[in-house]
Structure 1
Amino acid sequence: MVEQLLIERLKQGEESAFKDIVESRQGMVYNTVLGLVQNAEDAEDVTQEVFIKVFESIRQFKGESAFSTWLYRIAVTTSLEFLRKKRRKKRFAFVTGLFGDNNQPAYDPADFVHPGIQLDNRENARMLFQAIKKLPENQRVAFSLHKVDGLSYQEVAQVMETTVAAVESLIHRARQNLKKMLKDHYNENR
């Protein structure tokens, strides 16, 4: 009920309502974005972009799903758009570099570790996040929302606008792909 009043106040253009939504949901959005973009600075920028989109499109929120579902959807979409733009920039920088311009391609840091990971698990987490990054987009989103953000299959299905069965399948395939990718790493560390 409180959230509905907050949303209505935001639809009326009240800045204090926007501030309240940002304060109450910033951590959730940041963690979701961070799990997908895997860079703290980029996650901060994308999180700000998510809240700008929320502010600009709040009137389009009809309440057909939970506000959190709508917010997750915006966070995922904005993160994926950011990653696509980043890949295009890298390709352009690489091609430009081939033709003699001194632009160097930007590389993702290979040592990303989500801040919530225990110190003794950092190396394993680093390998896992590198592998997650290589998953097909839908598998990466479903896996991250379920395993990193802790959403249920039903909640992931709502965010991704698909069925629970499709989410189960995506997560199963993600696990299988991750197993294949990480097999060598874990065999070496036994």
Structure 2
Amino acid sequence: MINEKLLLERITNGDTSAFRQLVEYNHKKVIHICLSYVGNTTDAEDIAQEVFIEMYRSIKNFRSESSISTWLYRLSVNKSLDFIRQSKRQKRGSGKVNPMEKSEIERLNISNKQMASDSIEEEERKKVLYQAIDKLPYRQKEALLLSQIKELKQQEVADTMNTTVSSVESLLVRAKRKLKELLINQKEEIF
């Protein structure tokens, strides 16, 4: 565990090694948050880089009313949502339906057909799950991602969302019920 206050003080005094330490400590968490929103590792890594750039630019304005990890979570969510909005605008404007990404094409060219099949199935399951999560109401989605993907305790989720633990519990129950319903409906549509 790092001492956030000491690290923050070193960063505001211009210590670049302290900022590097902060990035290394939080890098995987930020990518994981972004990935939970955009569902693509390459995009998540790009967004994470933007998150840390934004953090570096505005760290002197950080008031320590919340923890750095909470601030990073908010930055990650906001940057991810910005990316999603921008992507939707580009798709509408370009007329492209759903172009295959280079990484997806490479995955399809794996010589071992069984490995390719397993990999594709796993990716497809993740894609279906993320699509279903994306259909949840915003607060339910946020509570679910924080507790299940980021693995925060319910009190931490409540603090991050500026609500109570009982509200978080309620959001999680509704989110899981809705997610189950969405996945069952999707399965029925496929078969």
Normalising by the smaller structure, the TM-score range is 0.7 to 0.9
The aligned counterpart of 1:58 is 59
The aligned counterpart of 1:166 is 167
Do residues 105 (structure 1) and 96 (structure 2) align?
yes
Report how far residue 165 of structure 1 moved.
2.9
Question: What letter is aligned with 2:34?
Answer: V
Report how far residue 46 of structure 1 moved.
0.6
Taking the aligned partners of 2:65 and 2:10, their CA distance within structure 1 comes to 18
- Relative to structure 1, the CA distance from residue 186 to residue 88 in structure 2 (aligned partners, 3 Å threshold; closer, same or farther) is closer
The alignment partner of 2:80 has SS state of helix
Taking the aligned partners of 2:74 and 2:55, their CA distance within structure 1 comes to 11
Structure 1: 5+ residue stretches without partners? 94-102, 112-117
Taking the aligned partners of 1:86 and 1:125, their CA distance within structure 2 comes to 20
Report how far residue 89 of structure 1 moved.
2.4
- Relative to structure 1, the CA distance from residue 150 to residue 120 in structure 2 (aligned partners, 3 Å threshold; closer, same or farther) is farther
The aligned counterpart of 2:114 is none
Query: 8 Å contact 1:37–1:79 — kept in the other structure?
Result: yes
Report how far residue 62 of structure 1 moved.
2.1
The aligned counterpart of 2:15 is 14
Query: 8 Å contact 1:76–1:141 — kept in the other structure?
Result: no
Between the two proteins, the alignment pairs up a number of residues equal to 174
Provide, for residues 140-182 of structure 1, a one-character-per-residue CA deviation record: whole Å limited to 9, x for no partner. Answer: 2221111111112221222223332332232222112111111
The aligned counterpart of 1:98 is none
Taking the aligned partners of 1:105 and 1:77, their CA distance within structure 2 comes to 25
The aligned counterpart of 1:70 is 71
Query: 8 Å contact 2:140–2:175 — kept in the other structure?
Result: yes
Structure 1-normalised TM-score?
A: 0.77
Structure 2: 5+ residue stretches without partners? 105-117
The alignment partner of 1:141 has SS state of helix
The aligned counterpart of 1:32 is 33
Taking the aligned partners of 1:8 and 1:121, their CA distance within structure 2 comes to 47
Report how far residue 135 of structure 1 moved.
1.7
Report how far residue 18 of structure 1 moved.
1.4
C-alpha root-mean-square deviation of aligned residues, in Å?
2.9
- Relative to structure 1, the CA distance from residue 90 to residue 187 in structure 2 (aligned partners, 3 Å threshold; closer, same or farther) is closer
Structure 2-normalised TM-score?
A: 0.77
Taking the aligned partners of 2:120 and 2:84, their CA distance within structure 1 comes to 29
Report how far residue 51 of structure 1 moved.
0.4
The aligned counterpart of 2:90 is 89
Provide, for residues 30-84 of structure 1, a one-character-per-residue CA deviation record: whole Å limited to 9, x for no partner. Answer: 1111111111111011101110111112122222222212211211122122212
The aligned counterpart of 1:100 is none
Provide, for residues 110-139 of structure 1, a one-character-per-residue CA deviation record: whole Å limited to 9, x for no partner. Answer: x8xxxxxx9698254443222112222222
The aligned counterpart of 1:157 is 158
Query: 8 Å contact 2:39–2:127 — kept in the other structure?
Result: no
Taking the aligned partners of 2:162 and 2:57, their CA distance within structure 1 comes to 21
Q: What is the identity percentage for the equivalent residue pairs of Structure 1 and Structure 2?
A: 42
